[in-house]
Amino acid sequence: MLRIDIETCIGCGVCEEVCTFGAIEVVDSVAVVNEKCTLCGSCVDSCEAGALSIEAKEKELQTDIAEWSGIMVYAEFRHGKVAPVSYELLGIGRRLADQQKVPLTAVLLGSSMDGAARELVSYGADTVFQVDDSALEFFTDEIYGNILEDIVRVQKPEVVLAGATAIGRSFIPLVATALATGLTADCTQLAIREEDGVLLQTRPAFGGNIMATIECPFTRPQMATVRPRVMKALMPDSDRKGEIIDFKPDPARLQSRVKVLQSVLEEQDQVNITEGDIIVAGGRGLDNEKGFELIKQLAGTVGGAVGASRAAVDSEWIAYPHQVGQTGKTVNPKLYIACGISGAIQHVVGMQSSETIVAINKDPDAPIFDVATYGIVGDLYEVVPKLIDKIKEKRG
Amino acid sequence: MNIIVCVKQVPDAKDVRLDPKTNTMAREGVESIMNPFDRHAVEEAVRLKEQHGGTVTVISMGPPQAEAVLRDAVACGADEAVLVSDRAFAGADTWATTYTLGKAINKTGSYDLILCGKQAIDGDTAQVGPGLAKRLNIPYVSYVRKITGFENNVLTLHRLMDDGYDEIELPLPGLLTVVKEINVPRVPSLKGKMKAKSLSIKTLNAADIDANPDSIGLPGSTTQVVKVFAPEFKGERAMLEGTVDEQVEQLVNKLQPYL
Ligand SMILES: Cc1cc2nc3c(=O)[nH]c(=O)nc-3n(C[C@H](O)[C@H](O)[C@H](O)COP(=O)(O)OP(=O)(O)OC[C@H]3O[C@@H](n4cnc5c(N)ncnc54)[C@H](O)[C@@H]3O)c2cc1C
Ligand SMILES: Nc1ncnc2c1ncn2[C@@H]1O[C@H](COP(=O)(O)O)[C@@H](O)[C@H]1O
């Protein structure tokens, strides 16, 4: 409940202004809350008089919270391969485990996974629990969920991480619900608070316009899915030692009501902008489809892939697999060259972790310059051809 | 086939901004809309009803004004609407939401299929569908982009994956979450609009669904938002100076390590 201390309230109306939901009204010089309140807390922070508070009932801690220890990562395996996000999770997982001085475990589920567990060790896992069973050939939420749930119950890790992939985002909510604990989707930053070991889970919300930090204070494990290509994998070290344990699932847990008839790999567009070191991206500033020929030329010259803003994709100048951003791909190349892209937040969230960002835009106030390492204010149709020539010239 | 569709009223995400100085949400011009994915869920439910008979009931947990999205769904072909609303539900995370929706659905009567959107555009969590299925102990399939058949109480579906799609059989009762590719939603018909206007919407509060006060709203939530902030950027903002030729020259020198 939102509590309003009518003694303290000065009726200034700031809370009324600030409330996105129209839930507060000042009546007879005091704030009054109505049923539209969502307890978002914006008003509490805005009240200079300190008259507002959110009354959260003291929640009971799960009794055995101290017994939950260790970091666990779900390593996705599909169509004969470990998904790259699994290595990224081991990268961040290793950091959290070292900070907490606890082991890092990976859970690997699938069938015919020769050597995959060993790989996970070389990327940082201390222990790998694997289930290699024909019942796991296809992904099913129920069977994968049952087994992960059972391993978590036995191992009692304080943190469980999975990739925010189609698979992770589908079955991890099932596991969290079964374990009666909290889950934060699609995190882009993770940290553990020194004092109490609570996992601080940061993620974009409202289509990337807002960042929120979320914690799961009362229950364990603390669970999160993590956006692919945001965390960094460690360099694999084949000398690393680790233990590989074959987990024996209860056969009753290998039943799924949902049946997968077949799993079809679709022709991936030739472009894979998420690999590779350089991306040259074009936006609405190209003005027309032909503009991408210039972008491709520059990309060809520097040996990079072609990216695009949503505006360019929506204009059908280039196909969706090229789209970078909140609703496209997250990329982190060494070099990102943005041509005629304004730098809307939804674009920037998908490329801001690139090592070096070059922005070419004719508007000096374009927000893209705020994320740029180097900016050129100018007409891309003048700048880009010169850039191509110059690079060629330097190379001789 | 009796179908329940879960719809959520959300602020139009593209308009939501955080004022970086006050760290509060800018209120101006933010409209409340039906979550776009849920519109596709309603459409698919209505198509299934048209093919196989039955009824479509839309359900929403939210403040009283969420009634607007329920009427919108009725205008698009849904038959019945249930609003699950109580001040005690405020501040619910996905855990408390699935508890509440689960309880409400159990009160609403029998169903063959529950449809949800892939995710709500306010929180973008995509957790309510799978969580709700677990609460109700029914099988589910997420990211459905096509329903290919229905025979002997089994739906056949295509489910979108990162590298293609899976062909799947789901026995009913079950739950689906749908992606936009599944259909093109219709615009409301005149008849639908009239019906939406006059339909009385059933409202359920915490007591009506026998909710445990410790399991709903903020107290029932397992996660807490401890901070919201505007995205930060780390750009060095080194603007190159001079004529275009000079700028290009400087840039190529700076980029030497990559070229
Ligand atoms: C929920 C949601 C999700 C979204 N997801 C994404 C996403 O994943 N990816 C994405 O990119 N966007 C996304 N968007 C859209 C985003 O908000 C912007 O609308 C989009 O990124 C704008 O693309 P743009 O920069 O190419 O176009 P504009 O914003 O129109 O910018 C064009 C820029 O080109 C410059 N320009 C024009 N002519 C020239 C010239 N001759 N030379 C140099 N510069 C020139 C202009 O100064 C301008 O800055 C999303 C929006 C929403 C609401
Ligand atoms: N409060 C709610 N009322 C009804 N349905 C909801 C509610 N919240 C979420 N849903 C459903 O769950 C889906 C996923 O939402 P989310 O997990 O919040 O991203 C939505 O598309 C809706 O179908």
- Check CB contact under 8 Å for A378 and B247: yes
Q: Which ligand neighbours the alpha carbon of A359 most closely? A: 1
Residue type present at position A149? E
Give the distance (Å) from ligand 2 centre to CA of residue B195.
24
Residue A201: the pLDDT is 97
Task: Give the torsion sign (CA, A89, A177, B111, B7).
Answer: negative
Give the angle subtended at the CA of A164 by the CAs of B137 and B42, to the nearest 5°: 55
Does B207 touch chain A if contact means CB atoms closer than 8 Å?
Answer: no
Q: In B, which residues are within 8 Å of A277 by CB distance? A: 258
In terms of Cα–Cα distance, which of A332, A342, A304, A307 is closest to A321? A307
Helix ranges, chain A (H): 14-18, 42-46, 84-100, 116-122, 141-155, 166-178, 291-302, 310-314, 345-348, 380-395
> Where residue B188 sits, what CATH number does that domain have?
3.40.50.620
Q: In A, which residues are within 8 Å of B255 by CB distance? A: 335, 356, 358, 374
In ligand 1, which atom is closest to the CA atom of A363? 47
- Taking the CB of residue A186, how many other CB atoms lie within 10 A of it? 23
- CA B2/CA B112 separation, integer angstroms: 5
**What's the whole-number mean pLDDT along residues B85-103?**
94
Q: Which ligand neighbours the alpha carbon of A380 most closely? A: 1
Residue B232 lies in a domain: no
Q: In A, which residues are within 8 Å of B233 by CB distance? A: 348, 352, 370-371
Does B68 touch chain A if contact means CB atoms closer than 8 Å?
Answer: no
Residue B202 lies in a domain: yes
Does B259 touch chain A if contact means CB atoms closer than 8 Å?
Answer: yes
State the complex-level ipTM.
Answer: 0.89
**What's the whole-number mean pLDDT along residues B94-118?**
95
Q: How many domains does chain B have?
A: 1
pLDDT tens-digit map of B132-155: 999 999 999 999 999 999 999 999
Lowest mean pLDDT among A61-70, B40-49, B61-70, B248-257: A61-70
Ligand 2 lining (C-beta closer than 6 Å): B 6-8, 35, 37-38, 41, 60-62, 94, 97, 101, 116-117, 119-120, 123, 125-129
Please give chain A's pLDDT, 396 residues, in tens: 788 998 999 999 888 887 767 789 999 889 998 877 777 777 887 888 889 987 765 666 777 888 999 999 999 999 999 999 999 999 999 999 999 999 999 999 999 999 999 999 999 999 999 999 999 999 999 999 999 999 999 999 999 999 999 999 999 999 999 999 999 999 999 999 999 999 999 998 887 788 899 999 999 999 999 999 889 999 999 999 999 999 999 999 999 999 999 999 886 655 678 778 999 999 999 999 999 999 999 999 999 999 999 999 999 999 888 999 988 888 889 999 999 999 998 899 889 888 899 999 999 999 999 999 999 999 999 999 999 999 999 887
Residue B160 lies in a domain: yes
**For residue B156, what are the domain limits?**
3-222
Helices A166-178/B128-136 angle, 10° precision:
40
- Check CB contact under 8 Å for B245 and A386: yes
In ligand 1, which atom is closest to the CA atom of A326? 8
3-state helix, strand, coil in chain A (%, to 5): 30, 25, 40
8-state DSSP, A324: B
Looking up tokens 């509440």, which residue turns up?
Answer: B100
Task: Give the torsion sign (CA, A12, A15, A18, A20).
Answer: negative
- Check CB contact under 8 Å for B125 and A185: yes
Give the distance (Å) from ligand 2 centre to CA of residue B125.
9
8-state DSSP, A17: H
Q: Is the pTM of the predicted complex or chain greater than 0.90?
A: no
Residue to probe by mutation, ligand 1, list A186, A209, A309, most atoms within 8 Å of CB: A309
What distance in Å separates residue A232's CA from the closest CA in chain B?
A: 18
- Largest alpha-carbon pair distance within chain B? 74
Residue B11: the pLDDT is 87
- CA A388/CA A373 separation, integer angstroms: 19
Query: Contact at 8 Å (CB) between A221 and A160?
Result: yes
Run of H or E including B104: helix B94-108
Give the distance (Å) from ligand 2 centre to CA of residue A280.
37
HEC-encoded secondary structure of B70-87: HHHHHHCCCCEEEEECCH
Residue B125: the pLDDT is 93
Residue A206: the pLDDT is 83
In terms of Cα–Cα distance, which of B4, B201, B200, B35 is closest to B105? B4
- CA A74/CA A159 separation, integer angstroms: 11
Q: How far is CA B139 from CA A13, A165, B237, in A?
A: 49, 20, 51
- Check CB contact under 8 Å for B228 and A352: no
Q: In A, which residues are within 8 Å of B258 by CB distance? A: 277-278, 302, 334-335, 356
Q: How far is CA B247 from CA A294, A342, A370, in A?
A: 19, 20, 18
Within A221-288, strands assigned E span 222-226, 243-246, 259-265, 278-282
- Check CB contact under 8 Å for B166 and A45: no
HEC-encoded secondary structure of A147-189: HHHHHHHHHCCCEEEEECCHHHHHHHHHHHHHCCCCEEEEECE
What distance in Å separates residue B147's CA from the closest CA in chain A?
A: 14
| pLDDT category of residue B53 using cuts at 50, 70 and 90 | very high
Residue B206 lies in a domain: yes
Q: In A, which residues are within 8 Å of B133 by CB distance? A: 174
Query: Contact at 8 Å (CB) between B139 and B171?
Result: yes
Minimum-distance CB partner of B143 among A166, A205, A372: A166
> Bridge-partner residues for A163, per DSSP?
A226
- Domains of chain A as residue ranges with CATH: 2-54 (3.30.70.20), 65-254 (3.40.50.620), 268-394 (3.40.50.1220)
Within B118-231, strands assigned E span 140-151, 154-161, 164-171, 174-178, 202-204, 224-229
